[in-house]
Amino acid sequence: MYEKVSIIMPSYNYALYIKQAIESVLNQTYLNWDLIVIDDASTDYSLNVINEYVKKDSRVKLIINEKNLGLAATLKKAIDFADGEWIAFLESDDVFLPASIEEKIKAAKLGADIIFTDVEFFQDKEKAANIEEYYRKVSKYLVELDHSKFIENFPQIISKSNIIPTFSCAMVKKELIKECKFNPICKSSLDHYLWAQLSHNKIYYINKKLTRWRLHKDSYINKDKCSWIAKFLFSISIYSQTIKNKFWLKRIFLTLNYIRTRFIYFKFTKKQIKVSLFNDKIVLEKEF
């Protein structure tokens, strides 16, 4: 029997998009799944759309929050409800390509604990161009994402940058994610916080665009903006998760050094001096 995948779809006032998202799940080539749509007290007509599919297909299930709980609590509630061996995510404004779950299951059979794929951006072309430029830099400086593979040194990578584009391209073993904390300092960076906690597991990247990531002004990534100090504290929390398997005394030393580098960083080479203060708020560069 093929392993069951519970696909979690948080819903909040995305009635305009959620039909397309649900349809993309129904069109999956892999059949052993259930779709848990959890509505976080939407005030639009989202529930009307969702209930149409609940009636059509027994694999589509609906949970309704009586009051708005926010993304973190909503996802955790759905994960606790899920009974699949694997948890896949699909935001209610995004779209799976038909082979999305099937390709992830193939990667799971290779021994992966967490699987993520490449994505296709759509709707907001300007924002898409900015994100594509960001991932070009990621590929250049952190990790080459030019072919499917297990990601080596993932803790070091995730401590610097979240290379998993969106929840909607990821799948993870339920037994792992159910043990995670869902209380990040920066709410809009919940995914980064979870991947940091899981960073010492086996991470596999599929170099195929298996999710369409909708970019628009109402997306949750554009909300809950963090102050600089919150981002600073958040970065420390991320780093602390990536070194949690080290001896406690070494963890203290590494954390203190990390904090120091966030306040002041310096690099000297034969051709250049670079000094940055307060996370690049003030930068001095001198080339010879």
Residues 191 and 276 in one domain: no
Give domain status of residue 189, yes or no.
yes
Give domain status of residue 276, yes or no.
yes
pTM: 0.90
What are the tens digits of pLDDT across the range 243-257? 999 999 999 999 998
Residues 259 and 206 in one domain: no
Residues 31 and 126 in one domain: yes
Instruction: Please say whether the beta carbons of 8 and 63 come within 8 A.
Output: no
| Distance set, CA 50 to CA 47, 94, 168, 190 (Å) | 5, 15, 18, 25
Give domain status of residue 156, yes or no.
yes
Least trusted range by pLDDT, from 73-77, 224-228, 262-266: 262-266
Domain that holds residue 270: 246-287
Residues 183 and 257 in one domain: no
Q: Is the pLDDT of residue 149 over 60?
A: yes
Portion of the chain with pLDDT greater than 70, in percent: 89
First to last CA, the chain: 65
Q: Is the pLDDT of residue 160 over 60?
A: yes
Tell me, what CATH number does 123's domain have? 3.90.550.10
Read off the pLDDT band of 13 (50, 70, 90).
very high
Reduced to 3 states, what is the DSSP secondary structure of residue 122? strand
Q: Is the pLDDT of residue 171 over 90?
A: yes
Residues 77 and 130 in one domain: yes
Give domain status of residue 235, yes or no.
no
Q: Is the pLDDT of residue 223 over 70?
A: no
Give the total number of structural domains in the chain.
2
Per 3-state DSSP, what percentage of the chain is helix, strand, and coil (rounded to 5)? 40, 25, 35
Give domain status of residue 238, yes or no.
no
Give domain status of residue 239, yes or no.
no
Instruction: Please say whether the beta carbons of 41 and 33 come within 8 A.
Output: no
- Token pair for 271: 């051709």
What are the tens digits of pLDDT across the range 204-213? 999 999 999 9
Bridge partners, residue 113, by sequence: none
Residues 138 and 275 in one domain: no
Mean pLDDT of 64-79: 97
- Pairing mode, strands 60-64 and 114-123: unpaired
Domain stop point among 172, 192, 225: 225
- Token pair for 29: 């080539």
What is the arrangement of strands in the sheet containing 264-268, beginning at the earlier edge strand?
A: 264-268, 272-277, 282-287
d(CA 78, CA 26): 19
Residues 50 and 176 in one domain: yes
Residues 80 and 12 in one domain: yes
Read off the pLDDT band of 196 (50, 70, 90).
very high
Confidence (pLDDT) at 262: 72
